[in-house]
Chains A and B, each alone.
Chain A
Amino acid sequence: MSPTQLLIRELADKYGRSREHLLPIMQGVVEQESFLSEYSMIEIAREMDLPAAEVYGTATFYSFLETKKMGKYIIRVCKTISCAMKGKGQVIMAIQDMLKIPLGETTPDGRFSLLQTNCLGLCHKAPAMMINHDVYTDLTPEKVREILSEYMKKPL
Chain B
Amino acid sequence: MTTQKINISLNGYNVQVDKGTMILDAAKENGLIIPTLCYHKDLCIAGNCRVCVVEIAGQKRLSAACATPVEEGMEILTNSLKVRNSRKHIIELLLAEHNADCTKCYRNGNCELQELASEYKIMTQEFIELVPFKTYTIDMYSPSIIKDDSKCIRCQRCVRTCAELQGVNALTVAHKGDEMKITTFMEKPMNSVVCTNCGQCVNHCPTGALVEKNYIEEVWEAISSPDKHVVVQTAPAVRIGLGEELGFEPGSRNTGRMVAALKRLGFDSVLDTDFTADLTIVEEGTELLTRLKKALKDKDPNVKLPMATSCSPGWIKYIEHLYPEYLPNLSTCKSPQQMFGALVKTYYAKARNLEPDKIVSVSIMPCTAKKFEAARPEMLDSGYRDVDYVLTTRELAIMIKQAGINFSALEEAKYDRLMGDSTGAGVIFGATGGVMEAALRTAYELVTGREVPFENLNITPVRGMEGVREATIKIENPKKEWAFLDGVELKCAIAHGLVNAKTVMDSVKSGKADYHFIEIMACPGGCLGGGGQPIPTSPEIRKKRAEAIYAEDAGMAIRKSHENPEVIKLYRDFLKEPNGELSHKLLHTKYTPRERF
- Is A–B contact present in the complex under a CB 8 A cutoff? yes
A51 to B171: give the CA distance in the assembly, Å.
Answer: 10
A143 to B175: give the CA distance in the assembly, Å.
Answer: 34
Closest-by-CB residue of B relative to A56 is B185
A96 interface contact, C-beta 8 A: no
A45 interface contact, C-beta 8 A: yes
A42 interface contact, C-beta 8 A: yes
Contact residues in A for B184 (Cβ distance below 8 Å): 53
Known A42-B597, A45-B597; contact A54-B176, beta-carbon cutoff 8 A: no
**What mask results when residues 51 to 74 of chain A are scored 1 for a CB within 8 Å of chain B, else 0?**
111111100110000010000000
Taking a contact as CB atoms closer than 8 A, the residue among A38, A42, A60 that contacts B174 in the complex is A60
Q: Are B596 and A52 in contact (CB under 8 A)?
A: yes
Taking a contact as CB atoms closer than 8 A, the residue among B175, B186, B194 that contacts A51 in the complex is B194
B183 to chain A, nearest CB (A): 8
Contact residues in B for A53 (Cβ distance below 8 Å): 169-172, 183-185, 193-194, 597
Q: Are A57 and B173 in contact (CB under 8 A)?
A: yes
A54 to B193: give the CA distance in the assembly, Å.
Answer: 13
A51 to B194: give the CA distance in the assembly, Å.
Answer: 9
**What mask results when residues 579 to 597 of chain B are scored 1 for a CB within 8 Å of chain A, else 0?**
0000000000000000011
**What mask results when residues 497 to 528 of chain B are scored 1 for a CB within 8 Å of chain A, else 0?**
00000000000000000000000000000000
Closest-by-CB residue of B relative to A45 is B597
Closest-by-CB residue of B relative to A37 is B186
Q: Are B169 and A56 in contact (CB under 8 A)?
A: no
A46 to B169: give the CA distance in the assembly, Å.
Answer: 14
Interface positions, chain B 156-205, Cβ under 8 Å from A, are 163, 168-176, 183-186, 193-194
Closest-by-CB residue of B relative to A38 is B186
Contact residues in B for A67 (Cβ distance below 8 Å): 186
A29 to chain B, nearest CB (A): 15
Q: Are B176 and A51 in contact (CB under 8 A)?
A: no
Contact residues in A for B163 (Cβ distance below 8 Å): 51
Known A42-B597, A46-B596, A51-B194; contact A56-B176, beta-carbon cutoff 8 A: no
Q: Are A52 and B175 in contact (CB under 8 A)?
A: no
A41 to B184: give the CA distance in the assembly, Å.
Answer: 13
Knowing that A51-B185, A53-B184 are A-B contacts, what are 18 other residue pairs whose CB atoms are under 8 Å apart, sorted by A's residue number? A38-B186, A41-B185, A46-B596, A51-B168, A52-B185, A52-B596, A53-B172, A53-B193, A53-B194, A53-B597, A56-B172, A56-B174, A56-B185, A56-B186, A57-B172, A60-B176, A61-B176, A67-B186
